[in-house]
């Protein structure tokens, strides 16, 4: 299976999980020519910008380990860009969702700073 297809399936699994837990999906695979965000969701008055990382197993490291300082800066830039573009002045959070398992069944959500 292609990594793009697998990544999309992992993103869909995270989106389903979030909806089941009271989040509203605002955007999937939001992109500009400068940045991208896998999922943008809202719960109450907070926007969550989510980077999804899939690993079949953790034998080569967890998805969280693949969030490098550079990737975190890119996510921060994209979140600021989206907030400015959408006149969002409320709270927002940067989040990593790690998905593991052949059926995308294990999802861990962690807020990052």
CATH number at residue 99: 3.40.1350.10
107: closest CA among 26, 39, 44, 32? 39
pLDDT below 70 — which residues of the chain? 1-3, 56-66, 113
Query: Domain count of the chain?
Result: 1
Q: What is the pLDDT of residue 1?
A: 54
| Residue 9 structural domain | 3-112
Q: Specify whether the CB–CB gap between 23 and 43 falls below 8 A.
A: yes
Q: What is the pLDDT of residue 81?
A: 96
Dihedral (CA of 84, 86, 90, 95) sign: negative
């Amino acid at each position: 299976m292609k990594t793009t297809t697998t990544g999309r399936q992992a993103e869909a699994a995270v989106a389903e999980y979030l909806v089941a837990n009271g989040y509203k999906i605002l955007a999937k695979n939001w992109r500009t020519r400068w940045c991208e965000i896998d999922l943008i969701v809202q719960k109450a008055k907070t926007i969550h910008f989510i980077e999804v990382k899939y690993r079949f197993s953790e034998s080569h490291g967890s998805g969280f380990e693949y969030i490098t300082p550079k990737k975190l800066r890119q996510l921060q830039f994209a979140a600021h860009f989206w907030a400015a573009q959408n006149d969002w002045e409320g709270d927002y959070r940067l989040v990593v969702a790690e998905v593991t398992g052949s059926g995308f069944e294990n999802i861990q959500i962690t807020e990052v700073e």
